[in-house]
Chains A and B, each alone.
Chain A
Amino acid sequence: MSQEKFAFHLDKNFTIGTIFLIFFILFVSTTMVFAQNGTPPTDNEVNAIAKDLYCPVCENTPLDVCPTVACAQWRDMIREKLTAGWSKEQISQYFVDQYGDRVLAEPPKRGFNWLVYVLPPIFFLGGCILVYKNLRKFKNQKPGVDSGNMDKNDPYMQEVEEALQLMNRKDQGN
């Protein structure tokens, strides 16, 4: 009798335990499925956006490698926005609206910022033209001594000139 009772007790415990286990497995698996459906963005996806942003607190340090708490919070914010389905452009614009243009690695193409994009090619082109002109001028120069600035009345220079002419004549004679 007591053995039967014990067996029943065991069965009852076993059944409750099994149900609990099944519920636990179901709960865990449901949670996992939910997480997979949410597809949280990877660190690489977050950093792909963060590398083009700069936190004003830590100047000259891109957000993806910045070690401060402020930057970690910004990266969390990017993660939140990505999870919410925002695009890279939308996230960048959000940061600009919140913290200003200076968070961008590349200044936006408007106002004085245009100078950053326009001046370097202009200077480069100007430099190329100058180099080209000087090279052409150098190429067109006739070989020989330029006597344009020589003082013809200088007795020393006259002697040098005569000596050179004599040497030329000797060379032609040979």
Chain B
Amino acid sequence: MENPEETKKTLPRWAVVTAFVVLLGFLGILGWGLKNAQQGPVKVGQPVPVFNLTTFDGQVVSTSDLKGKVIVVNFWASWCKPCEQEAAELEEAWQSYRESDQVYFFGVDYVDTETQAKKYIEKFNITYPNGPDLRTSISQLFRITGVPETYVIDKNGNLANAKIGPYESLAEIKQMIDPLISE
């Protein structure tokens, strides 16, 4: 058994305080990291934070400039085979809404190389704004689990619905968007 007085002699007060501060700080950072990790994706009905997309043409598009419009955010990559299934339908949908100026499409290219991404865009004749997910900031905001994933934001800036995986048809895409236009 150790004499408590002896412990006091060997460990100065400042050392104990410092050790506790370091330990608490470490636990705090650990807790903060855990909280962030368990935060989960933006839920349906929740407001979507504003984000910018720099397109492959060099234009910067911000969601803050698109208030009052329905925004479709599609995450894709040139190496993603399932993305190819919905590419034509998404373009078709964009063409059908383009004139109305009530719906805006964003193509977010996730973890891809520019050369391959441009080839993909050309292959499927995609005309809506597309750009790389620089530093994966947009995908982290939505906490995507893979590609393709599509998020539809309503006119008030809240997440209306999310599609994990490719759309099966043009009708399915329209089914997600049409009710939001008439709101």
Chain A contact residues, CB within 8 Å of chain B: 55-57, 68-70, 73-74, 76-77, 80, 96-102, 112, 115, 119, 122, 126, 133, 137, 148-149
Contact = CB atoms under 8 A, between A and B. Distances in A.
Interface stretch (B64-72, B86-94, B110-118, B171-179): B110-118
Nearest to A149: B1
Interface string B123-156: 0000000001011110000000000000000000
A97 B122 CA distance: 25
A56 B3 CA distance: 54
Contact of B10 (A100, A133, A148): A133
Chain A interface main SS type:
helix
Interface residues of B, number: 20
A55 B49 CA distance: 26
B113 A73 contact: yes
Contacts of B51: none
Interface string B18-37: 01001000100100000000
A137 B10 contact: yes
A56 B111 contact: yes
A56 B29 CA distance: 23
B135 A70 contact: no
Contacts of A98: 132, 134-135
A76 B78 CA distance: 14
Contacts of B29: 112, 115
Contacts of A55: 111
B77 interface: yes
B77 A70 contact: yes
A13 B79 CA distance: 52
A122 B10 CA distance: 19
A149 B111 CA distance: 68
Contacts of A126: 19
B116 A97 contact: no
Contacts of A148: 3
B21 to A, nearest CB: 12
A18 B60 CA distance: 59
B99 to A, nearest CB: 34
Given A97-B135, A99-B135, A122-B22, 13 more contacts: A55-B111, A56-B111, A56-B136, A68-B79, A70-B112, A73-B78, A73-B113, A77-B113, A98-B132, A99-B136, A115-B29, A133-B10, A149-B1
Contact of A73 (B79, B134, B137): B79
A71 to B, nearest CB: 9
Nearest to A80: B115
A129 to B, nearest CB: 9
